Structure 1
Amino acid sequence: MISNNELFLQAEPKVNIKSNKEIRVEDLVSVFSSDDKFQNKIKKLVIGKTEKEDKNKVIPMIYIIKKIKEVKEDIDIVAFGSPEILIEIENEKKEIKVLKFLKITLVSLILFLGAGIAIINFHVDVDMEKSLGIISYVVVGERDVEPIYLKIPYSLGLGVGMVTFFNRVLKKKKNKQPSPLELEMHSYENSIDDYIIDITKHNEKEN
Protein backbone atom coordinates (compact mmCIF):
# COMPACT_ATOMS: atom_id res chain seq x y z
CA MET A 1 0.00 0.00 0.00
CA ILE A 2 1.24 3.47 -0.90
CA SER A 3 1.72 5.82 2.04
CA ASN A 4 1.08 9.57 2.09
CA ASN A 5 4.82 10.07 2.43
CA GLU A 6 5.61 8.60 -0.99
CA LEU A 7 5.73 10.44 -4.29
CA PHE A 8 6.16 8.76 -7.68
CA LEU A 9 7.60 10.55 -10.72
CA GLN A 10 7.58 9.26 -14.30
CA ALA A 11 9.79 11.31 -16.64
CA GLU A 12 9.53 11.62 -20.40
CA PRO A 13 12.79 11.85 -22.39
CA LYS A 14 11.60 14.91 -24.34
CA VAL A 15 8.87 17.56 -23.95
CA ASN A 16 7.82 20.68 -25.85
CA ILE A 17 7.24 23.96 -24.01
CA LYS A 18 6.56 27.43 -25.44
CA SER A 19 9.07 30.25 -24.93
CA ASN A 20 8.67 32.76 -22.07
CA LYS A 21 6.71 30.24 -20.03
CA GLU A 22 7.18 28.97 -16.51
CA ILE A 23 8.36 25.36 -16.33
CA ARG A 24 6.24 23.38 -13.88
CA VAL A 25 6.83 19.86 -12.62
CA GLU A 26 3.74 18.60 -14.47
CA ASP A 27 5.25 19.82 -17.76
CA LEU A 28 8.17 17.42 -17.35
CA VAL A 29 6.95 14.41 -15.38
CA SER A 30 3.83 12.51 -14.43
CA VAL A 31 3.21 12.81 -10.69
CA PHE A 32 1.37 10.41 -8.39
CA SER A 33 0.73 10.50 -4.65
CA SER A 34 -2.02 9.10 -2.45
CA ASP A 35 -2.33 12.62 -1.03
CA ASP A 36 -4.24 14.46 -3.79
CA LYS A 37 -3.68 17.88 -2.28
CA PHE A 38 0.09 17.40 -2.09
CA GLN A 39 0.12 15.85 -5.57
CA ASN A 40 -1.56 18.91 -7.11
CA LYS A 41 0.81 21.20 -5.21
CA ILE A 42 3.86 19.41 -6.63
CA LYS A 43 2.39 19.41 -10.14
CA LYS A 44 2.12 23.21 -10.07
CA LEU A 45 5.58 23.68 -8.56
CA VAL A 46 7.65 26.07 -10.73
CA ILE A 47 11.23 24.91 -11.30
CA GLY A 48 12.35 27.32 -14.02
CA LYS A 49 11.41 29.39 -17.05
CA THR A 50 11.99 29.18 -20.79
CA GLU A 51 13.70 32.22 -22.23
CA LYS A 52 12.99 33.68 -25.67
CA GLU A 53 16.58 33.19 -26.86
CA ASP A 54 16.72 29.54 -25.73
CA LYS A 55 16.32 26.74 -28.25
CA ASN A 56 16.71 23.79 -25.89
CA LYS A 57 17.01 23.16 -22.17
CA VAL A 58 18.04 20.07 -20.20
CA ILE A 59 16.52 19.46 -16.76
CA PRO A 60 18.08 16.61 -14.74
CA MET A 61 15.67 14.50 -12.70
CA ILE A 62 17.88 15.11 -9.66
CA TYR A 63 17.14 18.86 -9.97
CA ILE A 64 13.38 18.19 -9.92
CA ILE A 65 13.80 15.98 -6.84
CA LYS A 66 15.85 18.73 -5.15
CA LYS A 67 13.09 21.30 -5.78
CA ILE A 68 10.43 18.95 -4.40
CA LYS A 69 12.56 18.28 -1.31
CA GLU A 70 12.60 22.04 -0.69
CA VAL A 71 8.82 21.90 -0.37
CA LYS A 72 8.75 18.76 1.82
CA GLU A 73 12.09 17.43 3.02
CA ASP A 74 10.92 14.12 4.52
CA ILE A 75 9.08 12.92 1.37
CA ASP A 76 10.17 9.60 -0.18
CA ILE A 77 10.52 10.08 -3.94
CA VAL A 78 10.55 7.18 -6.41
CA ALA A 79 11.60 8.27 -9.90
CA PHE A 80 11.20 6.36 -13.17
CA GLY A 81 12.13 7.13 -16.76
CA SER A 82 14.82 9.32 -18.23
CA PRO A 83 17.43 10.80 -15.82
CA GLU A 84 17.61 13.91 -18.03
CA ILE A 85 14.67 15.63 -19.74
CA LEU A 86 15.19 17.48 -22.98
CA ILE A 87 12.97 20.55 -23.41
CA GLU A 88 12.38 21.73 -26.95
CA ILE A 89 11.35 25.38 -26.77
CA GLU A 90 8.67 26.39 -29.26
CA ASN A 91 8.82 29.97 -30.50
CA GLU A 92 5.63 31.87 -31.25
CA LYS A 93 6.82 32.48 -34.81
CA LYS A 94 4.46 30.80 -37.25
CA GLU A 95 5.84 29.57 -40.54
CA ILE A 96 3.98 30.81 -43.62
CA LYS A 97 1.99 27.96 -45.18
CA VAL A 98 3.08 28.81 -48.74
CA LEU A 99 6.75 28.85 -47.69
CA LYS A 100 6.34 25.53 -45.89
CA PHE A 101 4.69 24.01 -48.97
CA LEU A 102 7.54 25.23 -51.20
CA LYS A 103 10.13 23.74 -48.83
CA ILE A 104 8.37 20.36 -48.82
CA THR A 105 8.03 20.44 -52.62
CA LEU A 106 11.73 21.33 -53.09
CA VAL A 107 12.94 18.59 -50.72
CA SER A 108 10.60 16.01 -52.32
CA LEU A 109 11.87 16.96 -55.79
CA ILE A 110 15.53 16.67 -54.73
CA LEU A 111 14.89 13.27 -53.11
CA PHE A 112 12.97 12.05 -56.17
CA LEU A 113 15.74 13.10 -58.58
CA GLY A 114 18.44 11.70 -56.29
CA ALA A 115 16.68 8.34 -56.01
CA GLY A 116 16.13 8.26 -59.80
CA ILE A 117 19.81 8.93 -60.51
CA ALA A 118 20.86 6.26 -57.99
CA ILE A 119 18.60 3.66 -59.67
CA ILE A 120 19.84 4.64 -63.16
CA ASN A 121 23.50 4.37 -62.09
CA PHE A 122 22.84 1.00 -60.47
CA HIS A 123 21.24 -0.33 -63.67
CA VAL A 124 24.18 0.96 -65.76
CA ASP A 125 26.70 -0.67 -63.38
CA VAL A 126 25.05 -4.10 -63.53
CA ASP A 127 24.13 -3.75 -67.24
CA MET A 128 20.42 -4.39 -66.65
CA GLU A 129 19.59 -4.21 -70.38
CA LYS A 130 21.91 -7.12 -71.08
CA SER A 131 20.42 -9.06 -68.14
CA LEU A 132 16.87 -8.54 -69.43
CA GLY A 133 18.03 -9.56 -72.93
CA ILE A 134 19.41 -12.84 -71.55
CA ILE A 135 16.14 -13.48 -69.67
CA SER A 136 14.21 -12.79 -72.89
CA TYR A 137 16.39 -15.30 -74.77
CA VAL A 138 15.91 -17.94 -72.04
CA VAL A 139 12.12 -17.46 -71.94
CA VAL A 140 11.14 -16.96 -75.61
CA GLY A 141 14.28 -18.15 -77.42
CA GLU A 142 14.89 -14.83 -79.19
CA ARG A 143 17.58 -12.23 -78.61
CA ASP A 144 15.81 -8.91 -78.03
CA VAL A 145 18.09 -5.93 -77.32
CA GLU A 146 15.24 -3.95 -75.75
CA PRO A 147 12.59 -6.39 -74.44
CA ILE A 148 9.75 -3.93 -73.68
CA TYR A 149 7.51 -6.75 -72.38
CA LEU A 150 10.09 -7.26 -69.61
CA LYS A 151 11.04 -3.63 -69.00
CA ILE A 152 7.48 -2.46 -68.31
CA PRO A 153 6.61 -5.06 -65.62
CA TYR A 154 10.12 -4.71 -64.17
CA SER A 155 9.71 -0.92 -63.81
CA LEU A 156 6.24 -1.30 -62.28
CA GLY A 157 7.48 -4.03 -59.95
CA LEU A 158 10.37 -1.83 -58.82
CA GLY A 159 7.97 0.94 -57.75
CA VAL A 160 5.43 -1.43 -56.15
CA GLY A 161 8.22 -3.28 -54.35
CA MET A 162 9.64 -0.09 -52.82
CA VAL A 163 6.21 1.15 -51.68
CA THR A 164 5.34 -2.26 -50.19
CA PHE A 165 8.75 -2.47 -48.49
CA PHE A 166 8.10 0.81 -46.68
CA ASN A 167 4.55 -0.31 -45.68
CA ARG A 168 2.78 2.66 -47.27
CA VAL A 169 -0.01 0.82 -49.12
CA LEU A 170 -1.63 -1.42 -46.55
CA LYS A 171 -4.09 0.08 -44.08
CA LYS A 172 -2.64 1.08 -40.75
CA LYS A 173 -3.28 -1.26 -37.85
CA LYS A 174 -2.83 -0.65 -34.14
CA ASN A 175 -0.31 -3.46 -33.83
CA LYS A 176 1.26 -3.08 -37.28
CA GLN A 177 4.94 -3.75 -37.69
CA PRO A 178 6.95 -0.54 -38.14
CA SER A 179 8.52 0.00 -41.54
CA PRO A 180 12.33 0.11 -42.00
CA LEU A 181 12.01 3.85 -42.65
CA GLU A 182 10.13 4.39 -39.36
CA LEU A 183 12.76 2.39 -37.44
CA GLU A 184 15.57 4.37 -39.06
CA MET A 185 13.82 7.68 -38.29
CA HIS A 186 13.27 6.61 -34.67
CA SER A 187 16.95 5.72 -34.29
CA TYR A 188 17.95 9.01 -35.96
CA GLU A 189 15.71 11.10 -33.66
CA ASN A 190 17.13 9.37 -30.57
CA SER A 191 20.67 10.10 -31.74
CA ILE A 192 19.76 13.76 -32.36
CA ASP A 193 18.18 14.05 -28.89
CA ASP A 194 21.28 12.54 -27.23
CA TYR A 195 23.49 14.96 -29.15
CA ILE A 196 21.36 17.99 -28.19
CA ILE A 197 21.39 16.94 -24.52
CA ASP A 198 25.21 16.66 -24.53
CA ILE A 199 25.70 19.99 -26.33
CA THR A 200 23.15 21.83 -24.14
CA LYS A 201 24.74 20.49 -20.93
CA HIS A 202 28.18 21.53 -22.19
CA ASN A 203 26.98 25.07 -23.01
CA GLU A 204 25.24 25.41 -19.63
CA LYS A 205 28.47 24.44 -17.83
CA GLU A 206 30.45 27.06 -19.77
CA ASN A 207 27.90 29.75 -18.88
Structure 2
Amino acid sequence: MERIVYLRLRHRLQVKPHETIVLSDVAQLIADDEVYDKLANLLLYRVSKEDKNIIIIDVMQVIKHITKCFPSLEIQTVGPTQIIVEVAVKRRKVSLPLFMLIWFLLFFGAALTIMNFHEDVSMQEVQQKIYTLITGEVDSRPLIFQIPYSIGLGLGMILFFNHVFKKRLNEEPSPLEVEMFNYQMDLDNYVSLHENKESMKNIDER
Protein backbone atom coordinates (compact mmCIF):
# COMPACT_ATOMS: atom_id res chain seq x y z
CA MET A 1 0.00 0.00 0.00
CA GLU A 2 1.36 3.39 -0.98
CA ARG A 3 1.90 5.94 1.74
CA ILE A 4 0.77 9.48 1.03
CA VAL A 5 2.92 12.55 1.70
CA TYR A 6 1.31 15.98 1.68
CA LEU A 7 3.71 18.75 0.71
CA ARG A 8 3.30 22.54 0.67
CA LEU A 9 6.15 24.75 -0.53
CA ARG A 10 6.93 27.87 1.44
CA HIS A 11 6.85 31.20 -0.37
CA ARG A 12 10.35 32.41 0.49
CA LEU A 13 13.48 31.15 2.24
CA GLN A 14 16.62 32.99 3.29
CA VAL A 15 19.90 31.08 3.53
CA LYS A 16 23.58 31.82 4.01
CA PRO A 17 26.24 31.24 1.31
CA HIS A 18 27.47 27.63 0.99
CA GLU A 19 24.56 26.38 3.10
CA THR A 20 22.74 23.12 2.38
CA ILE A 21 18.98 23.15 1.82
CA VAL A 22 16.89 20.21 3.02
CA LEU A 23 13.24 19.44 2.36
CA SER A 24 11.99 20.75 5.72
CA ASP A 25 13.56 24.13 4.89
CA VAL A 26 11.53 24.63 1.73
CA ALA A 27 8.27 22.86 2.54
CA GLN A 28 5.73 21.90 5.17
CA LEU A 29 5.23 18.15 5.35
CA ILE A 30 2.56 15.75 6.54
CA ALA A 31 3.76 12.15 6.46
CA ASP A 32 3.92 8.96 8.51
CA ASP A 33 6.26 9.02 11.49
CA GLU A 34 8.31 6.25 9.88
CA VAL A 35 9.45 8.40 6.97
CA TYR A 36 8.93 11.94 8.25
CA ASP A 37 12.43 12.44 9.69
CA LYS A 38 14.10 10.99 6.61
CA LEU A 39 12.01 13.22 4.33
CA ALA A 40 12.61 16.33 6.45
CA ASN A 41 16.40 15.85 6.23
CA LEU A 42 16.43 14.98 2.52
CA LEU A 43 19.11 17.09 0.79
CA LEU A 44 17.69 19.16 -2.06
CA TYR A 45 20.29 21.78 -2.89
CA ARG A 46 23.71 22.99 -1.90
CA VAL A 47 24.38 26.72 -2.34
CA SER A 48 27.60 27.31 -4.30
CA LYS A 49 29.71 30.25 -5.46
CA GLU A 50 28.09 30.08 -8.92
CA ASP A 51 24.68 30.84 -7.46
CA LYS A 52 23.65 34.46 -7.39
CA ASN A 53 21.51 36.00 -4.68
CA ILE A 54 18.28 34.36 -5.93
CA ILE A 55 17.61 30.64 -6.42
CA ILE A 56 14.28 29.21 -7.63
CA ILE A 57 13.34 25.68 -6.53
CA ASP A 58 10.41 24.22 -8.45
CA VAL A 59 7.99 21.67 -7.01
CA MET A 60 8.90 19.27 -9.83
CA GLN A 61 12.53 19.29 -8.67
CA VAL A 62 11.35 18.51 -5.15
CA ILE A 63 9.13 15.63 -6.32
CA LYS A 64 12.01 14.27 -8.42
CA HIS A 65 14.31 14.17 -5.37
CA ILE A 66 11.66 12.52 -3.19
CA THR A 67 10.67 9.83 -5.70
CA LYS A 68 14.33 9.04 -6.36
CA CYS A 69 14.92 8.26 -2.68
CA PHE A 70 11.43 7.04 -1.78
CA PRO A 71 9.83 5.50 -4.90
CA SER A 72 6.94 3.94 -2.96
CA LEU A 73 5.58 7.26 -1.68
CA GLU A 74 2.60 9.02 -3.24
CA ILE A 75 3.09 12.79 -3.17
CA GLN A 76 0.23 15.27 -2.98
CA THR A 77 1.22 18.92 -3.43
CA VAL A 78 -0.76 21.85 -2.06
CA GLY A 79 -0.24 25.58 -2.57
CA PRO A 80 2.68 27.30 -4.36
CA THR A 81 4.62 25.49 -7.06
CA GLN A 82 7.88 27.41 -6.54
CA ILE A 83 9.92 28.75 -3.68
CA ILE A 84 12.29 31.72 -3.86
CA VAL A 85 15.55 31.12 -2.01
CA GLU A 86 17.42 34.30 -1.17
CA VAL A 87 21.13 33.99 -0.48
CA ALA A 88 21.83 36.52 2.27
CA VAL A 89 25.19 38.14 1.69
CA LYS A 90 26.72 39.93 4.66
CA ARG A 91 26.05 43.62 4.29
CA ARG A 92 28.51 46.34 5.06
CA LYS A 93 27.67 48.72 7.88
CA VAL A 94 26.34 52.07 6.72
CA SER A 95 28.70 54.91 7.57
CA LEU A 96 27.40 57.65 9.84
CA PRO A 97 28.19 60.54 7.39
CA LEU A 98 26.26 58.77 4.62
CA PHE A 99 23.32 58.15 6.97
CA MET A 100 23.26 61.82 8.04
CA LEU A 101 23.46 62.99 4.40
CA ILE A 102 20.49 60.82 3.39
CA TRP A 103 18.55 61.92 6.50
CA PHE A 104 19.08 65.62 5.72
CA LEU A 105 18.13 65.14 2.06
CA LEU A 106 14.90 63.36 3.01
CA PHE A 107 14.07 65.87 5.76
CA PHE A 108 14.57 69.00 3.67
CA GLY A 109 13.06 67.35 0.58
CA ALA A 110 9.87 66.53 2.51
CA ALA A 111 9.79 70.02 4.07
CA LEU A 112 10.13 71.70 0.66
CA THR A 113 7.41 69.46 -0.77
CA ILE A 114 4.96 70.44 1.98
CA MET A 115 5.86 74.13 1.66
CA ASN A 116 5.44 74.09 -2.13
CA PHE A 117 2.08 72.33 -1.81
CA HIS A 118 0.85 74.94 0.68
CA GLU A 119 2.03 77.70 -1.63
CA ASP A 120 0.21 76.14 -4.61
CA VAL A 121 -3.11 75.96 -2.75
CA SER A 122 -2.62 79.38 -1.08
CA MET A 123 -2.91 77.92 2.41
CA GLN A 124 -1.84 81.11 4.19
CA GLU A 125 -4.45 83.21 2.38
CA VAL A 126 -7.15 80.66 3.18
CA GLN A 127 -6.25 80.70 6.87
CA GLN A 128 -6.24 84.51 6.87
CA LYS A 129 -9.72 84.62 5.31
CA ILE A 130 -11.06 82.01 7.77
CA TYR A 131 -9.65 84.02 10.68
CA THR A 132 -11.25 87.21 9.33
CA LEU A 133 -14.62 85.49 8.84
CA ILE A 134 -14.65 84.14 12.41
CA THR A 135 -13.17 87.08 14.34
CA GLY A 136 -13.92 90.00 12.03
CA GLU A 137 -10.30 91.10 12.33
CA VAL A 138 -7.48 91.06 9.75
CA ASP A 139 -4.28 89.29 10.77
CA SER A 140 -1.40 88.54 8.39
CA ARG A 141 -0.22 85.70 10.67
CA PRO A 142 -3.22 83.90 12.20
CA LEU A 143 -1.15 81.74 14.59
CA ILE A 144 -4.33 80.45 16.25
CA PHE A 145 -4.86 78.42 13.05
CA GLN A 146 -1.30 77.91 11.88
CA ILE A 147 0.07 76.33 15.10
CA PRO A 148 -2.72 73.72 15.55
CA TYR A 149 -2.59 73.00 11.81
CA SER A 150 1.17 72.33 11.97
CA ILE A 151 0.77 70.04 15.00
CA GLY A 152 -2.15 68.25 13.33
CA LEU A 153 -0.11 67.75 10.17
CA GLY A 154 2.59 65.91 12.14
CA LEU A 155 0.05 63.84 14.10
CA GLY A 156 -1.76 63.00 10.89
CA MET A 157 1.44 61.66 9.34
CA ILE A 158 2.04 59.49 12.43
CA LEU A 159 -1.50 58.08 12.25
CA PHE A 160 -1.25 57.57 8.48
CA PHE A 161 1.99 55.58 8.67
CA ASN A 162 0.87 53.86 11.91
CA HIS A 163 4.31 54.12 13.50
CA VAL A 164 6.06 56.13 16.19
CA PHE A 165 9.71 55.34 15.43
CA LYS A 166 9.74 51.49 15.65
CA LYS A 167 6.53 51.17 17.70
CA ARG A 168 3.34 50.27 15.84
CA LEU A 169 0.15 52.00 17.01
CA ASN A 170 -2.14 49.10 16.11
CA GLU A 171 -2.15 45.83 14.15
CA GLU A 172 -3.52 47.39 10.96
CA PRO A 173 -0.85 47.74 8.25
CA SER A 174 -0.07 51.23 7.03
CA PRO A 175 -0.62 52.21 3.36
CA LEU A 176 3.17 52.27 2.92
CA GLU A 177 3.47 48.69 4.22
CA VAL A 178 0.67 47.56 1.88
CA GLU A 179 2.41 49.17 -1.10
CA MET A 180 5.73 47.59 -0.12
CA PHE A 181 4.00 44.20 0.19
CA ASN A 182 2.41 44.56 -3.26
CA TYR A 183 5.77 45.60 -4.73
CA GLN A 184 7.46 42.58 -3.12
CA MET A 185 4.77 40.22 -4.48
CA ASP A 186 5.14 41.65 -8.00
CA LEU A 187 8.92 41.34 -7.71
CA ASP A 188 8.65 37.72 -6.53
CA ASN A 189 6.31 36.86 -9.41
CA TYR A 190 8.73 38.41 -11.89
CA VAL A 191 11.69 36.55 -10.41
CA SER A 192 9.74 33.26 -10.36
CA LEU A 193 8.93 33.55 -14.05
CA HIS A 194 12.31 34.76 -15.28
CA GLU A 195 14.73 32.90 -13.02
CA ASN A 196 13.05 29.50 -13.27
CA LYS A 197 14.47 27.88 -16.40
CA GLU A 198 11.75 25.22 -16.41
CA SER A 199 8.91 27.76 -16.68
CA MET A 200 9.96 28.91 -20.19
CA LYS A 201 11.29 27.01 -23.18
CA ASN A 202 12.70 28.59 -26.35
CA ILE A 203 12.21 27.15 -29.81
CA ASP A 204 15.99 26.68 -30.16
CA GLU A 205 16.04 24.38 -27.13
CA ARG A 206 13.84 21.70 -28.73
Alignment TM-score, normalising by the size of structure 2 = 0.85
**Pairwise CA RMSD:** 2.5
Alignment TM-score, normalising by the size of structure 1 = 0.84
Find the aligned partners of 1:118 and 1:203 in 2 and give their Cα distance: 47
Q: Name 1:126's counterpart in structure 2.
A: 121
Q: Name 1:61's counterpart in structure 2.
A: 59
Q: 1:100 to 1:87 in 2, by over 3 A?
A: farther
Find the aligned partners of 1:178 and 1:68 in 2 and give their Cα distance: 39
Query: Deviation of residue 81 (structure 1)?
Result: 2.4
Q: Name 1:76's counterpart in structure 2.
A: 74
Query: Deviation of residue 107 (structure 1)?
Result: 3.7
Q: Name 1:32's counterpart in structure 2.
A: 30
Conserved 8 A contact 2:8-2:29: yes
Between the two proteins, what is the percent identity of the paired residues?
29
Q: Name 1:148's counterpart in structure 2.
A: 143
Gaps of 5+ in 1: none
Query: Deviation of residue 4 (structure 1)?
Result: 6.9
2:131 is the counterpart of 1:136: yes
Query: Deviation of residue 74 (structure 1)?
Result: 3.0
Query: Deviation of residue 44 (structure 1)?
Result: 1.1
Find the aligned partners of 2:148 and 2:127 in 1 and give their Cα distance: 11
Conserved 8 A contact 2:2-2:72: no
Gaps of 5+ in 2: none
Find the aligned partners of 1:80 and 1:120 in 2 and give their Cα distance: 53
Query: Deviation of residue 171 (structure 1)?
Result: 5.8
How many pairs does the alignment contain? 198
> Match of 2:162, as an amino acid?
N
Deviations 1:104-148, CA, capped at 9 Å, x for gaps: 544443332222121111101101111111111111111212212
